[in-house]
Chains A and B, each alone.
Chain A
Amino acid sequence: MKIPNAAEDRPDRRTRALVGLYPPAWRQRYATEFAALLEDSDGGVRQVVDVAVAALHAWVRPSTHLHDRTGRMRATVAVTLCAWTALAAGAVLFAKTSRDGAWYVSGHTDPAAGWYNVYALASGTSALAIAVGWLPPVAAVLRAPQCHPGRRRALLLLLAPPVAVSAFLGSAALLRLITHGAGVGRTGFLVLIGLGLLTGAACAAGPAVALRHVAPSGAELRVTTLAGAVATALMAVAVPASVGCGLVTFADRPGFTALTGYGTVMAVTLVVAATSSARGLRAAVAGTRGSVDAH
């Protein structure tokens, strides 16, 4: 048993890591006293497991008296963007590997044209919804006073998506130039996938972290939350359509394993995005009814 030491105000690294497993609203309310209890109690694996399970529960079913609606919406916007980026990366990969990235295919030549065109239309509209939804946060960063401490960092973080996409497209063009348009080969394709994943990570993480520096709120945050939900709903149309397209395409050809893997990853990501969107929408709707955050 560790003897409590009043002089130790700052929790040790292990305690900070355990407290860090909890949601922000929970930490804001209980972190100090919980850290003190962790330091007073016996450690060990059982304690870590107990805290991890309790923290997971706090994320899944947050206490009603800790419901921070603005914080919930910000978390939803960040999580939805990350999940949506993963869905979009999967959608681009699917389009590229199945129809060479076409926006539209003709029913005369392609038996899965209907599925593919629904998928392409839903994906494209989803991207538009995300882009429109992120206009208010971008405007909030641009409107923030020059002296705002997080403005410069937020601006740099918001530049991450265009810079990353430009770098990816530049790399792809360079690779195409090197191979004289004769196909990039297996290694080149894997390199492009790796770069694509890095690009996706930068596109998701940059704006999501920017929200921490210049935090939008009120109507603009509700618009972004709603747009994220619309984009998720459209991806919920696009993903089954792409799987349907794959089923028709691979009906008499190998490729079923890849399709199953693709469908599973996309379905799990979709569930994450949908859950986060539902919780964000609930917070947004509660906000419009004039409720106030309770702390």
Chain B
Amino acid sequence: MVSENDPAVLVLASLADEPRHGYAITQDIADSVGVVLRPGTLYGVLARLEADGLIEALPAQGRRRPYRITALGERTLAEQAAQMRRVADLGLRRLRAAGAMP
């Protein structure tokens, strides 16, 4: 099972709506989720996702290169998000049943 803090999931989620380059990805993830992805971690993830065909590189814009999620990446992200939702729903439902949450 993947975590919502898994850098690969965060990057896929960041690229889900539009292509972004490295700096824009880190800013988007920091603003949306509050997780700071440092450059080494980010490019490790980008290289892995690119090798797995989940994202693809677009032509460089100056020194920066935007990345776009692929159809396979969208399916993978959808599956992982659905799995996370199932886990979250289960946890919330049982916490409410136990009276630990309103």
- Give A residues with C-beta under 8 Å from B: 4, 6, 9, 26, 29-30, 32-38, 40-41, 46-47, 50-55, 57-58, 63-66
Contacts and interface: CB of A to CB of B under 8 A. Distances in A.
Given A37-B39, A41-B26, A50-B38, A63 B63 contact: no
Interface residues of B, number: 21
Q: For the complex, would chain A's binding face be called helix, strand, loop or mixed by DSSP majority?
A: helix
A63 B48 contact: yes
15 contacts: A9-B63, A33-B60, A33-B63, A33-B64, A40-B23, A41-B39, A47-B38, A47-B40, A50-B41, A51-B40, A54-B44, A63-B47, A63-B48, A64-B51, A65-B50
Nearest to A38: B39
A51 B63 CA distance: 19
Contact of A52 (B40, B51, B60, B64): B40
A60 to B, nearest CB: 12
A46 B44 contact: no
A37 B47 contact: no
Contacts of B41: 50, 54
Contacts of B21: 33, 37
Contacts of B22: 33-34, 36-37
B48 A41 contact: no
B63 A35 contact: yes
Closest 5 CB pairs of A and B: A54-B40, A50-B38, A51-B40, A36-B63, A37-B22
Contact of B44 (A29, A32, A36, A58): A58
